[in-house]
Amino acid sequence: MKLLLRFFIAIAGIILASSLPILIAGWLQGEWRWNIYFESIQTTLQELWPIHEIAFFNYRAQRPMPLFPNVLEYITYSLQILFLALLAAVVVSLVLTVVTMLLSEKSRERVQMALYFLESIPDLLIIMLAQLAVVLFFKQTGILVSKIAAVGDDRIYWLPVLCLAILPTIQLYRLAMLTFQEEERQMYVDLARALGFSKVYIVLVHMFRNAVISVFFQSKKTMWFMLSNLFILELMFNLPGIMLFLRDNMYPAGFLVAVFSFFLPMFFLYSYGEWYFVRRMRGKGAV
Amino acid sequence: MWKQPYFVIGLSIIAFFLVGSFVYEWIWGNVPRQIYYIMEGGRAVEGAPISPNWQFPLGSDEFGYDLLGKLMLGAKYTILAALAVGAVRMLIAVPLGYILGTYLDKHRKWISSLADSMHYIPLTLFAAFVLTPVLWMPPEGFTNTIWERIGIQVVIMALLTVPIVAILIANEAALLLDKEYILAAKTLGAGRLRIIRQHLYPQMREKIAVLYGQQVMETFIVFAHLGLLKLFLGGTKVSYDPMFGDPPMSISYEWAGLFGSTFRYLQSAPWLPLAPVLFIGLTIFAVSLMMEGYLRSKNPKVKKLRKAKVEEPLVEWNREQLRHNLVRIKEQEMVKAEE
């Protein structure tokens, strides 16, 4: 019930945001256009129903495009890249964290310092360097590792996923290191060590279970950051995804469709995760 | 704070860009030097865009303007705007957060889930969506001045994430409000305003400073992203001439514009888009250095905690006594065994 309420409040927030440019444009002229704002929200909502008839004019294809199935293809492609990158980032960062936790205190500190500063690399730089590197490699050896730009409706996967995953990996890695170190100070770790369990076992089994929960709750910000990155990535690689599609449809209905296509899966992912972890914490007490 | 090497290095990088930007304009005027080709032995060896060499450390753009000069001229716009966005955002979000955390604590839950919906809208996309009417030049030209537009852009970008930052502060404040000393202060008759001023604000000063740094870093990134979308700081000059239209151009030499308008040269003249992004990265790095230095100066015990193996005289004495007694008991046992 609570979840449903939160779901509707979030939807209301997104809908309110979708017509904001009208208010801003009015504000620039020095007047409050509340009426036009609410009218725009109303017409936008009417456009969205019935859902089968939504169509956007597409500049690539030079014709209007219905939401089903054409635009849906864009959406699935974007979501595929997003979630593949997320999965890669989570797995890699957790593996690296576990490995680093086994190191000595001093080298851990160094790793954390390096991570802190690595976080300040702009995502644009990573994408551009990756594209340059691929071309350079191609010129040197004649092997094309991956296409650096999609033509038409081509789908390229691994290079965009790699570019998208690097920064979130660094962020999650640092976050996980902080939570694991926090966890290490808990009493049960001392107890387990006193009982003679090996360091690997304690980190992997006991600490991992508890730390993962708080990493999950803090990962929302990383996800938000990834969405912006995905947008830039699609532009720079010219990927046929929903973000690029949106750039050609910068009006309220297009904005709503694009945002909802991310909002729905992400909201369910997070709600399910929260529900699962909260239940586990309540059911077992402190592990 | 001033003794922390991290803080000083970070500050000097930013100060270098800012001071350098104004000094450059003061000495050489606001147009960078221009060169069309490089002569070598009486022959032109390279035309614009010229690749980086000793005379032009970062090369020149497609019209022969010195890129380093452009970057230096643009530094002040980008850096000052980012600092201003962060400052405006904090100035609005901090009081709002405190009000939410103290006066409106009952409504905090649903307001926070409303603000939470922001987390599903990519920030760059939202900024581009909202800023397009402000920054994209209409066919009849801009009606306001560049400084007005920069001001409007700063305020709008600041407002975009105010809800998220305010909720963050409100939650933090609500956590602190449960502490016992706040209860004691309340019992002694302190009003809410006094609690905010005397207890909450001093407690959170460091967190607010770090949050400010993060906001500035985030703003740099969003500026760069907007540059890629051809929405430049202070407006985009668009040529509506159907035949000989120039590509969209930035009005000042700010970094996002330098990057966004040269991105298509990535393969042919990689220094053109790379240099502005590198400069942005360097500035972000400087901000994170300053944050780290600031934090270290505030909690120096981070380092000392590990050396907490302080020799305590009482413990030592006890240990000595124990050893002594053990030895005595052992001796007694040995005597007994001999008997």
pLDDT of residue A247 exceeding 60, the answer is yes
The per-residue pLDDT for A67 is 63
Write the pLDDT tens digit of every residue in B175-225: 888 888 888 888 888 888 888 888 888 888 888 888 899 899 989 988 888
The per-residue pLDDT for A59 is 58
* A253 and A48 Cβ atoms separated by less than 8 Å: yes
Mean pLDDT over residues B297-303, rounded? Answer: 66
A14 contacts in chain B (CB < 8 Å) = 117, 120-121
Strand-strand pairing, B37-40 and B43-47? antiparallel
A63 three-state secondary structure: strand
pLDDT of residue B106 exceeding 70, the answer is yes
pLDDT of residue A287 exceeding 50, the answer is no
Q: Do B118 and A13 count as a contact with CB atoms less than 8 A apart?
A: yes
The per-residue pLDDT for A92 is 92
Strand partners, B39: B44
Write the pLDDT tens digit of every residue in B231-283: 888 777 777 766 656 677 777 778 888 888 777 777 777 888 888 888 899 99
Measured in angstroms, the CA of A86 and the nearest CA of chain B are apart by 15
Please report which confidence band the pLDDT of residue B83 belongs to, taking 50, 70 and 90 as the band edges: very high
Write the pLDDT tens digit of every residue in A28-38: 777 777 788 88
The per-residue pLDDT for A233 is 86
Q: Where are the strands (E) in chain B, listed by range? A: 37-40, 43-47, 236-237, 249-250
**Cis before B49 (ω within 30):** yes
Measured in angstroms, the CA of B110 and the nearest CA of chain A are apart by 8
pLDDT of residue B40 exceeding 70, the answer is no
pLDDT of residue A232 exceeding 90, the answer is no
A223 contacts in chain B (CB < 8 Å) = 119
- Lowest-confidence region among A70-79, A148-157, B242-251: B242-251
Mean pLDDT over residues B155-174, rounded? Answer: 87
- Lowest-confidence region among A232-236, B12-16, B148-152, B314-318: B314-318
The per-residue pLDDT for B91 is 93
Q: Do A227 and B289 count as a contact with CB atoms less than 8 A apart?
A: no
Per cent of chain B over pLDDT 90 is 8
pLDDT of residue B160 exceeding 90, the answer is no
- ipTM comes to 0.83
Write the pLDDT tens digit of every residue in A1-44: 677 888 888 888 888 888 787 887 777 777 777 788 888 888 87
For chain B, the average pLDDT equals 81
B39 three-state secondary structure: strand
The per-residue pLDDT for B292 is 86
> Of A257, A203, A266, which is closest to residue A65 (Cα–Cα)?
A257
The per-residue pLDDT for A286 is 46
Name the residue in chain A with its Cα closest to that of B264: A236
Count other Cβ atoms within 10 Å, centred on residue B111: 16
In one letter, which amino acid is B23? V
Please report which confidence band the pLDDT of residue A245 belongs to, taking 50, 70 and 90 as the band edges: confident
CA dihedral A124, A126, A127, A133 (to 10 degrees): 140
pLDDT of residue B71 exceeding 60, the answer is yes
* B75 and B18 Cβ atoms separated by less than 8 Å: yes
Q: Do B130 and A132 count as a contact with CB atoms less than 8 A apart?
A: no
> Of A65, A171, A169, A192, which is closest to residue A116 (Cα–Cα)?
A171
Question: Whole-angstrom Cα distance, residue B240 to residue A49?
Answer: 36
A12 contacts in chain B (CB < 8 Å) = 114, 117
